[in-house]
A and B are shown apart, each in its own frame.
Chain A
Amino acid sequence: MVALTPISRTAPSFYVPVVAAFGAFFGVFIGTGQGSTIGGVLGGAILMGVIAFVLTKVAKNERVSRWGLTLLLAIGGFALAGLPGLFVGAFFGWFFGFLIFWLYEGRYRAKVAPYLTPGQVLWHFSFRTLCGMIFFFLIAPIIIVMPLSFNAENFFTFTPEMLRFDPAGYSLKHYRDFFTNDAWQDAVKNSLYIAPVATLLSVSFGTLAAIGLSQPHVPFRRAIMAILISPMIVPLIISAAGMYFFYSRVGLQGTYIGVVLAHAALGIPFVIITVTATLVGFDNSLTRAAANMGANPVTTFFRVQMPLILPGVISGGLFAFITSFDEVVVVLFVGSAGQKTLPWQMFTGLREQISPTILAVATILVFISICLLTVVELLRRRSERMRGMSPS
């Protein structure tokens, strides 16, 4: 297929504007950083357009041109913003060098099917670019937090020392603060105490509800389902205010049990949804067969049904855990300061004192989440493999 696709050099009227458009896009960021967005757009477009033309029509030698461009932009970046600018500039040089010759030599056409129209080729690559950009904008805010958490200053600022990669600009003091500060440690303890209990309750009740609701003979199934799912749909602040007044009257406001119950109520819908989805593929004749052989319903559940729906139960439990672990609105209402959880502490910390300790905590939480999700995914694959559901 590759051999069939004709590759030929393209005309400047095609690649110069495309490269200029990319130049304009990146120019937005550089221009905004330097104080003039429009200047950045125009400057980026013109500069890159001219470079594209010069490299392909005057310099011609691809290897030399690309190295030259990388070097040139690295020096330019260094002049504008010092050492970090050097790296950013070198990256831009590498990228634009690649882009210019990729377009000019027609290489972009090589990997796509030969029968595609130009419009389809354009869509093929814009779709990829768009996906890449969405990915970038989702991840960037999380990534940017990580280096800032090693800041030696007490502000959310990239200091000149940090930008020079001077070790003096970096420090672990915010991590030390997190591990030694009582307020943070109490919050961690509360979170680690509330979330697992709430998860356990959500999983138990949610699984039972899902199994019950999947029986065809249960009356008003849809109505009951809708009511049980409602905490997920009703705006959180409304649930929270309602719970606050109700729990106050029955003496649960400001107690651990109150917060656990509230979080369990929020977690149950997730468990119901995931378990119901797994139950769709469950063959009810298995439970009948077990009953036929003398197993009582409890034994049937734990030995036959539970192992088969376990992946759904575990992922539901994971969602329930994360709901409780991340939740700030309900706990602000239902809890009192004695039940201050990690998100609550982060919330007040962010409002009252902008301290990078929050960033250190965020970084730790991101790593914990990654580990948690990886473990669950590995477990899921393992159980699938053991039951022969996947071929690997």
Chain B
Amino acid sequence: MNLTKTLMASTALTVAAGMAHSDGHMASEMTIVSWGGAYSASQQNAYHTPYSEMTGVKIINDESSAEAVSKLRAMNEAGNVTWDVVDVVASDALRLCDEGLAMEIDPDTQLADAPDGTKASEDFGDLLVGDCFIPQIVYSTTVGYRTDLVGDTPPTDICAIFDTDAYPGKRSLEKRPIGNMEWALLCDGVEKDAIYDALATEEGQQKALDKLATIKDDVVWWSAGADTPQLLADGEVVMGSTYNGRLFSLIVEQNQPVAMLWDAQMFDLDGWIIPTGLSPERQARALDYVMFATDTQRLADQSKYIAYGPARKSSAPLVGKHAELGIEMAEHMPTDPENAKNTFLYNYEFWADYRDDIDAKFQAWLVK
């Protein structure tokens, strides 16, 4: 009979534990969705921990930003939105806003003013794209190269990607047209100002793909930000594009023989949205969190942990030293004048109109 008793007792215990465990702490918990890795760690240090200490709210990290759009659609359809605040890139925020999945935010009443009293709308300035998006950081997609594999003449401009004679070996590029098409046209001799006009035409798109075709056999295509750092550390590729914060971590924190090629870096924005369909209490708390996390000091704090530029103008002078290594962060920011001599800004309007079309062509070209 021993077995019976043990079985019954353990069933009763586990079920009871299950009940106790699950009858929610919803009231004091919020789920914040972000990208994971070093980026989530920087948010944890700069925003989540101080916010939890201040309010007692427990923050649960969900690392699902990569599929934020599809998951929010599913949640909306199921009538069960479990996320409170979501970190997305600006283009995803625009889509979510258009579909009514993200709530509109008025920067001047729902976000903090700068310490000198400047209104948030002015402090963020042009970076406030769309009505639902609260910018957090400026990051860039740029190229890193192995210093020990490029010989005596390290690359100085973006066209080194296409120069397999001077820099033989594999290179890693993102598995999407954005960025690659612009770089291809630039290196094919198109004037920088004329690139988007050219990309709007069939011939321009074909020209970019033809240029990419010259190195197609040498390209490793990546889809996660962690891929290129791994490939560079392995020496599998001689150069590759990825987010500048990942390269910073690779070079400065991991001491790998890699250097940055800031030329023609592609700026993009990342920030918060608040999903629609939250209960009034949860929405109020999400707004409270966002107001806290995007104030001038908090944005500057984040740059102690990762090399992404704060989105507020008023945060720039407050950017200090790396929290652990004690090096000046300003010179590692993509927005530093020394690094930002030749840049692109992700063209939201252009890609909103042409993305589906060019994406289809790019994917078809990839499998050819």
Interface-facing stretch out of A14-22, A36-44, A251-259, A272-280? A251-259
Which partner residue on chain B sits nearest A301 by CB separation? B4
Which of B4, B10, B78 is in CB contact (< 8 Å) with A253?
B78
A8 part of interface (Cβ distance < 8 Å): no
| B27-41 at interface with A (beta carbon < 8 Å) | 29, 31, 33, 35-38
Task: Tell whether A352 pairs with B35 under 8 Å between CB atoms, given A155-B229, A155-B234, A204-B11.
Answer: yes
Is B66 at the interface (CB under 8 A from chain A)?
yes
Chain A, residues 210-233, CB within 8 Å of chain B (1/0): the string is: 000000000000000000000000
Contact indicator A351/B66 (Cβ below 8 Å): yes
Among the stretches A90-98, A162-170, A241-249, A319-327, the one at the interface with B is: A241-249
Please report which residues of chain A, range 31-72, place their CB below 8 angstroms from some CB of chain B when the two chains form the complex: none
B61 CB within 8 Å of chain A: yes
| Docked-complex contact B60 and A338, CB < 8 angstroms | yes
Contact B61–A183 (Cβ < 8 Å): yes
Asked if A260 CB lies within 8 Å of chain B CBs, one says yes
Report the bound CA distance from A391 to B295 in whole Å.
76
Is B82 part of the binding interface, using a Cβ–Cβ cutoff of 8 Å? yes
Closest B residue, CB atoms, query A259: B22
Chain B residue numbers with a CB within 8 Å of A249 are: 78-80
Identify the closest chain B residue to A347 (Cβ). B63
Measured CA separation A249–B60 after assembly (Å): 23
Whether A244 pairs with B37 at a CB distance below 8 angstroms is: no
The interface bits of chain B over 81-123 (1 if a CB of A lies within 8 angstroms of the residue's CB, else 0) are 0100000000000000000000000000000000000000000
Task: Report the nearest A residue to B235, measured CB to CB.
Answer: A157
Are the C-beta atoms of B22 and A255 separated by less than 8 Å?
yes
Contacting pair A256 B18 (CB below 8 A)? yes
Contact B61 A197 (CB under 8 A): no
Contacts of A337 in B (CB 8 A): 31, 33, 60-64
Q: In residues 339-392 of chain A, which contact B (Cβ within 8 Å)?
A: 340, 348-349, 351-354
In the complex, B164 has a CB within 8 A of chain A: no
**Interface residue A153 (Cβ < 8 Å from any Cβ of B):** yes
B166 within 8 A of A: no
Q: Which A-chain residue is minimally distant from B79 (CB atoms)?
A: A248
Query: Would A196 and B14 be within 8 Å (CB), given that A157-B233, A336-B82 are in contact?
Result: yes
Assess whether B36 is in contact with A348, with CB atoms less than 8 Å apart.
yes
* C-alpha gap A352/B62 in the complex (Å): 12
- Cα A245 to Cα B80 in complex, Å, equals 9
Judge if B224 is at the interface, Cβ distance under 8 Å: yes
Selected contact of B22 from candidates A154, A183, A245, A257, CB within 8 Å = A257
Cross-chain contact B22 with A244 (CB below 8 angstroms): no
Task: List A contacts of B11 (CB < 8 A).
Answer: 200, 204
- Interface size class, chain B: 35 or more
Q: Contacts A245-B78, A349-B36 hold; do A354 and B62 have CB atoms under 8 A apart? A: no
Let me know if A338 and B38 touch, CB within 8 A: no
Task: Judge whether A87 is part of the interface by a CB distance below 8 angstroms.
Answer: no
* Complex: chain A residue closest to B39, CB-CB: A352
Q: Are A352 and B229 in contact (CB under 8 A)?
A: no
The answer to whether A253 and B79 have CB atoms under 8 Å apart is no
Q: Which A-chain residue is minimally distant from B253 (CB atoms)?
A: A154
The distance in angstroms between the C-alpha atoms of A19 and B14, with both chains bound, is 61
Q: Is the CB of A254 within 8 A of B82?
A: yes
CA gap between A306 and B2 in the complex, in Å: 13
Q: Which of B24, B33, B80 has the most CB of A within 10 A?
A: B80
- What residues of chain A lie closer than 8 Å to B33, measured between beta carbons? 337
- Main DSSP-derived SS at the A contact region: helix
Flag if B21 contacts A193 (CB, 8 Å): yes
Interface string of B317-345 (1 = CB under 8 A from A): 00000000000000000000000000000
Minimum CB–CB distance from B43 to chain A (whole Å) comes to: 13
Separation of A196 and B11 alpha carbons in the complex (Å): 10
For the complex, is B279 an interface residue (Cβ under 8 Å from A)?
no
Contact of A25 with B by CB under 8 A: no
B3 within 8 A of A: yes
Q: Tell whether, in the assembled complex, residue A336 and residue B18 are in contact, meaning their CB atoms are under 8 Å apart.
A: no
Residue A78 is within 8 A (CB to CB) of chain B in the complex = no
Per the 8 Å Cβ criterion, residues 45-76 of B in contact with A are 60-64, 66, 74-75
With A155-B233, A349-B36, A352-B37 known as contacts, the answer to whether A253 contacts B31 (CB < 8 A) is no
Tell whether, in the assembled complex, residue B21 and residue A256 are in contact, meaning their CB atoms are under 8 Å apart: yes
- Whole-angstrom CA separation of A307 from B7 in the bound complex: 13
Measured CA separation A27–B153 after assembly (Å): 36
Question: What residues of A have a CB within 8 angstroms of the CB of B233 in the complex?
Answer: 153, 155, 157
**Is B201 interfacial (CB-CB < 8 Å)?**
no
- A154 vs B14: C-alpha distance when bound (angstroms): 39
A253 to B83, CA, bound (A): 12
Which residues of chain A come closer than 8 Å to B18, judged between CB atoms? 197, 256-257, 260
Interface residue A302 (Cβ < 8 Å from any Cβ of B): yes
CB of A338 within 8 A of CB of B29, answer: yes
Which chain A residues lie closer than 8 Å to B78 at the CB level?
244-245, 248-249, 253
> Is A26's CB within 8 Å of the partner chain B?
no
The yes or no answer to A178 lying at the interface (CB within 8 A) is no
Find the residue from A244, A253, A337 having the highest chain B CB count within 10 A: A337
User: B268 near A: Cβ within 8 Å?
Assistant: no
C-alpha spacing A204/B14, complex, angstroms: 13
Which residues, 261 to 289 on B, are CB-close (under 8 Å) to A? none
CB of B1 closer than 8 Å to a CB of A = yes
B226 within 8 A of A: yes
B31 touches A336 (CB 8 A): yes
* Residue B214 CB within 8 A of the other chain: no
A156 within 8 A of B: yes
Is the Cβ of A302 less than 8 Å from the Cβ of B74? no
23 A-B pairs whose Cβ atoms sit less than 8 Å apart in the complex: A155-B229, A155-B230, A155-B233, A155-B254, A157-B234, A197-B14, A197-B15, A200-B14, A248-B75, A248-B80, A249-B78, A249-B80, A254-B80, A255-B22, A256-B21, A257-B18, A260-B18, A336-B31, A338-B60, A348-B63, A351-B226, A352-B63, A353-B36
**Given contacts A244-B74, A255-B22, A260-B18, could you give 7 more A-B pairs where the C-beta distance is less than 8 Å?**
A153-B254, A155-B233, A255-B24, A336-B31, A337-B62, A351-B224, A353-B37
**The 5 residue pairs across chains A and B that have the minimum distance between CB atoms:** A352-B36, A337-B62, A353-B37, A248-B78, A248-B80
